[in-house]
Amino acid sequence: MTGFDSYVAIGDSFTEGLNDEWPDGTFRGWADRLAEVLADGRDDFRYANLAVRGKMLDEVMTEQLPVALDIRPDLVTVCAGGNDIIVPGADVDEVAAEFERGVARLREVGIDVLIFTGPDTKGLSVMSILRSKVGIYNAHLWAIADRHGAKVVDLWAMRTLHDGRAWSDDRLHFTPEGHRRIALRAAEVLGVPTEADWREPWPQDSPPATWLTLRRSDLVWTKAHLLPWIRRQLRGESMGDGVSPKRPQLAPLLTATGAATAVTRATALSPEAEPVTAAPQEARPRSA
C-alpha cells in the first residue's frame, strides 16, 4: 500500500504532461506516471488531473483549486505560477502570495500537498535569463511549504535535469525521460518505494555542440517557440484556449475499454508501459 487512495493534480502544462506523448498524441507526463505508482495495480485508487497548458496562477486557483477542495482527495499536487513569473514585469512576491493562499486552503481541510520548485535554467540558452526569478520564487515555495506542512519536489536540485536530453525543443517542457525522472523523485518525496532511481546517470552523450550549432538552435527556437509566445501574449491568447482537462473527474485508473489496469510500481515508470486513460472522451483540440 502506498498510503494514498485518491489523488488530484492541478496546474499548467507541466502537470498536464507536455511533451510526454503517447503514440496517439495524448499526453502522459509525470503526474500520470506518479498516479500509476500510487495505484500500484489497485482498482480502488482514484485519480483526476485538472491541469491545462497555458494556465496562469489565478486561473488554477479559481478554476481547479475549488474542484480539488470539493473532491477532498488524500493528495493534491500543485505546480503553478511559472507562466506568471516569465511575463516581463511580473511581481514574483505577489505570485508567491497567491500560491500560498491556495496551499493554505488545501492544508486547512487536511489534504496532503506536494509542490514543485522551478528547475534551474542556467544551462538553457536564452532561458537562463529567467534564473534569478525562478530562484526567488523557489525560495518563497520552500517557505510556504515550511509554514503549511507541504512536501516539496526540488526540481532545481535535480542535477539529472541539467542534461539537455531532459528538455524538449521548446526549452519549457520536459521530454518523456525528464517526466519519468520527475515522477520517480515525487514518489521518493512521498515515501513510496520504486525500483528505479531518478539519479541514474544518462547514457554517454554525443560530442558537445559548437558555438555555431548553438546559435542556429537559438534561431530555430526563436522562430518556432518564442515569437508565437510573444504573439499570444500581445493578443491575450493562451495555449490552453479551448483545451479541457484530460481527467476532469476523480475516477479509477482505467484503460480505454474500461478494464482496470494492473500497473505495478516496477512498470509504471517505464517508457514502454501501456497508457492509462480515463473512459473514452471526445477528442480535445491541440494548441500550437
Strands 46-49 vs 247-252: parallel, antiparallel or unpaired: antiparallel
pLDDT at 217 over 70: no
pLDDT at 79: 96
Bigger pLDDT: 121 or 284? Answer: 121
Check residue 97 and give its pLDDT.
98
- pLDDT value for 121: 82
Arithmetic mean of pLDDT, 40-44: 92
Strand spans (E) along 102-238: 112-116, 151-153
What mean pLDDT is predicted for residues 216-234? 54
Cα–chain-centroid distance for residue 59?
16
Q: Which three cell numbers stand for residue 282?
A: 471526445
Confidence label for 233 from pLDDT (cuts 50, 70 and 90): low
Q: Show Cβ contacts of residue 33 under 8 Å, excluding neighbours closer than 6 positions.
A: 179, 180, 183, 268, 269
- In the predicted model, what is the mean pLDDT of the chain? 82
Could you tell me the pTM of the whole model?
0.82
What digits encode the pLDDT tens for the residues 76-94? 999 999 989 988 889 999 9
Percent of the chain that is helix, strand, coil (3-state, to 5): 45, 10, 45
